[in-house]
Amino acid sequence: MRTAFTATRLFTPTEEILKPLLEVEDGRITEVSSRSGKEIPSNTSLVDFGEAVLTPGFFDIHIHGGAGLDVMLASPSDLPRLGKFLATHGVTAYFPTTVAAPLDATCAALGRLADAIEAAQSTVSTNGEPAQAHPLGIHLEGPFLSHKRRGVHPPENLVTPTIEVFERLWQAARGHVRVLTIAPEIPGALEVITEAARRNVCVSIGHSDAEMPVAQAAVKAGARHATHTFNAMRPLDHRDPGIIGEVLTDDRLSADIIVDGIHVAPAIVKLFLQAKGTERAVLITDAISATGMPDGRYQLGPIQVDVKDGKCTSGGSLAGSVLTMDRAVRNVTQFSAWSLRDAVRAATLNPARAVGLAGKHGVLAAGARADFTVLSAAGEVLKTIVHGHGF
């Protein structure tokens, strides 16, 4: 059975198509075109979303949990509940993200996440069921982080980078590690960066006190992204640009940012968007289990976090967020002069490119998975479709 979806506009997201026709068969997009002057074949059912905008499904490459679930503590059978919650916010794919925990606990969590990823690969969505975002790979946020810029990652769980430890994590995750956040200035880091990049992991510099030349050496070794720019980084100084100077000025690096209005001031978000541009800016949520839940005390892996008025803290430091990706997209349009289409790009194509999954995810084009989000003109999520299902 073929289905064709239409609405007022569609963002591929590099192009905008008016009166679009998005054709789907067996969970894949077969064609994206304009419907003007086109006959809908008799074997195709038409779904019309009226005034809405069709965009690729959002892709969150840095998320620790939501709906009361923490990705390191949840059982694989619980994760679909997180996936359903994320889909209500327009997300169709995500990378569950670890925090620095004792190595044994981390490895156990990685095994559970690998189970969840492999189960999602074989899940066939059926119509009538609510759509759920799928975990596609794992983001290791640590344990190779700077003591000075660790944020809330417990100091006793930070580990000196070695190929041996990386290999242990890699095996525990059964090769599903897709992003590694690492501080390049720690002894041994450059060797691990080289090895991780060789395995097609997106190496992301962050939680780092690196001076600019060290950050440049990391790029030379294979780093190609930066984690929550400005947060947990050596501050930018005009005579000591440091890691942020490198992140903002090197076009070989894409970079992500938490646009909740709490982690980074709106003016600095604007500076970041101008520096990285519509091709390299990536939105993340860094959301924790408290997302979508009332204020209170929550777990972030081994860390206890207090949530009050949308702010997550542990021992006085920011500890993740309760941001959702649809709000991040809307915030970008409010904090800057970026259009909804450019903001959507930073939540779809750009993260997919950063992690090497463009073509299959983050785009509305023939051959890509039929994962898309139906937005109002103001960027509110009306519907989320995964594998062509959920409408």
User: Which residues form the interface with Zn ion (CB under 5 A)?
Assistant: 141, 286
Please, what is the minimum distance in Å from the beta carbon of residue 123 to Zn ion?
A: 26
User: CB–CB of 183/209 below 8 Å?
Assistant: yes
CB-nearer residue toward Zn ion: 185 or 286: 286
Report the residue number, 141 or 250, with the smaller CB distance to Zn ion: 141
Two structure tokens written together for 104:
């044994």
Q: How far is the CB of 227 from Zn ion (least distance, A)?
A: 8
**Least spacing, CB of residue 62 vs Zn ion, in Å:** 6
Token couple for 350:
């750009």
Instruction: Please name every residue paired with 300 in a beta bridge, in sequence order, or none if there are none.
Output: 303
Residue closer to Zn ion by CB (options 70, 286) is: 286
Residue of closest CB approach to Zn ion: 286
- CB nearer to Zn ion: give 286 or 342: 286
Is residue 286 annotated as a catalytic residue, yes or no? yes
Torsion of CA 27, 33, 35, 40, to 10 degrees: -40
Q: Which residue in 374, 361, 373, 383 sits closest to 28, CA to CA?
A: 361
Choose between 29 and 328: whose C-beta lies nearer to Zn ion.
328
In the complex, least distance from residue 367 CB atom to Zn ion, rounded to whole angstroms: 32
Residues 197, 214: Cα–Cα separation, whole Å:
17
Nearer to Zn ion, 196 or 319 (CB): 319
Catalytic residue among 209, 250, 286, 371: 286
Shortest Cβ 288–Zn ion spacing (Å): 8
Find the shortest distance in angstroms from Cβ 97 to Zn ion: 6
Active centre residues (catalytic)? 286
